[in-house]
Amino acid sequence: MAVPARYVYTNGTPRLEGDPTVGGLLKVDISSTFAYVIPEGGTPAISYSWTRDGVVIPGATSITYRPTSADLGRVIAANLIITYDAESHLSVQAENPLRVAAAARARGFNGDNTLDIFARDGSGRLILYPTDGRGNWQAPQVIGWGWNIFNLLMSPGDFDGDGTVDVLARDGQGRLFLYQGNGSGGWKRALQVGQGWDVFKELTTAGDFNGDGTNDVLAKDASGSMFLYPGNGRGGWLTPVRIGQGWQDLETAGAGHFFGDHNVVVLSKDWTGYLQARNGIRNGWFNDYGIPGSFAGNIGWGWETVARFGSVGDFNGDGDYDVYGIDRSGKLTMYLGDPSNVQRRGTLGYRWKGSAVVGWGWGGFTAVF
């Protein structure tokens, strides 16, 4: 008797999520996808194929993919190949193909693709505190002297398009300088990339906020207006845009893919100690109730005791963005992010995985970023 033909079907559509930057991690979310065979009689196997601008990437056959410099500016997509036998198979493309942006701040300064923290001491030394990607510090390195001439320091990630993390520094005259990283914990050269930046009270890492593949900067003036300064991917700027107001009482931390999806989240805290999240949608605006710059949600409280804080990447190697906080005694605490809570319950249901004290004596630094 002939064996009846079997057909492979899926219920639900897989979705591509994660950090769409060079060195980031993309993953196919199959949590709502179920593959089955009709007539019943077996379980199909699932394999994966990734494409770059529609062309299959050799060797990319895992549920995850880490973009390389070859992917910069290209659209990455993932396909599920669901197979029962030689004649019963199905290919399904995951929703949400993503364009890869320049390396984010989270990729690290020394080229090992793990989180690093910069700190400046009172004598003007710039010190790099690297990690091993598993929640441990490696030996700190002095990477510069004389940095006390600057009144603002921040790292935008790869700002000049060479694949390495850079630093922006503003001096007392309002001049802005780009210090190009060499990818191994040192420098190439310094370039002036702006003047008149003393009108801003705060500069913040924005990641690829407008979705064009290059890293951007958020700048807040004394009146509380927030401006997006889009990077051009070559160490310069495109036309700035005011994207919000009413930020004068907020202190802003670096942005990142904090909720585990492809959108950039900006963290800030208010004077009462609430830690707030605002979600960008890679088009140059925030997407909080459709109003640019409006409120997204509280994800923590009691942060009024924190003197400095920031979001610079994944500290413990679990794939999720974490946030550090330094209290007034100099104690450094790492707060471990858990985006699965947001995906299930939204920001109102946000919970941290936990926290850990990872350093002491950090109160003596004049800048941490």
pLDDT grade, residue 119 (50/70/90)?
very high
**Residue 166 neighbours by CB under 8 Å, 6+ apart:** 155, 156, 157, 158, 159, 160, 178, 179, 180, 181
**Mean pLDDT of the chain, nearest integer:** 88
Q: In the predicted model, what is the mean pLDDT of residues 255-280? A: 85
Contact yes or no for 192/216 (Cβ under 8 A)? no
CA within 13 Å, CB half, 41:
11
**Burial of residue 207, with CB atoms counted within 10 A of its CB: 0-12 exposed, 13-18 middle, 19 or more buried:** buried
Q: What contacts 248, CB < 8 A, 6 or more positions away?
A: 220, 222, 223, 224
pLDDT at 1 (0 to 100): 40
Of residues 90 and 320, the one with the higher pLDDT is 320
Q: For 271, which DSSP code?
A: T
Which tokens is 27 given? 């993953």
- What average pLDDT does the segment 97-109 reach? 89
CATH code linked to domain 105-368? 2.115.10.10
Classify domain 7-99 by CATH number: 2.60.40.2700
- Tell me if 26 sits within 8 A of 67, measured CB to CB: yes
7-99 against 105-368: fold identical = no
Put residue 171 in one of left, alpha, beta given phi > 0 → left and psi -120 to 50 → alpha.
beta
Instruction: Judge whether 335 and 275 are in contact, CB under 8 Å.
Output: no
Tokens matching residue 306: 């924190």
pLDDT tens digit string along 154-170? Answer: 999 999 999 999 999 99
Euclidean distance between the first and the last CA atom of the chain, given in angstroms as a whole number: 71
Question: For residue 50, what pLDDT is reported?
Answer: 98
- Structure confidence at residue 257 (pLDDT): 80
**pLDDT of 348:** 55
User: d(Cα 150, Cα 276) in Å, to the nearest integer?
Assistant: 28
Residue 208 has pLDDT above 80, yes or no: yes
Q: Is the pLDDT of residue 245 over 50?
A: yes
Q: Does the pLDDT of residue 55 top 60, yes or no? A: yes
Are 270 and 247 in contact by the 8 Å Cβ rule? The answer is no
Mean pLDDT of 174-184: 97
Domain ranges in the chain are 7-99, 105-368
Least confident residue range of 16-20, 35-39, 146-150, 267-271: 35-39
Banded pLDDT at 3 (limits 50, 70, 90): very low
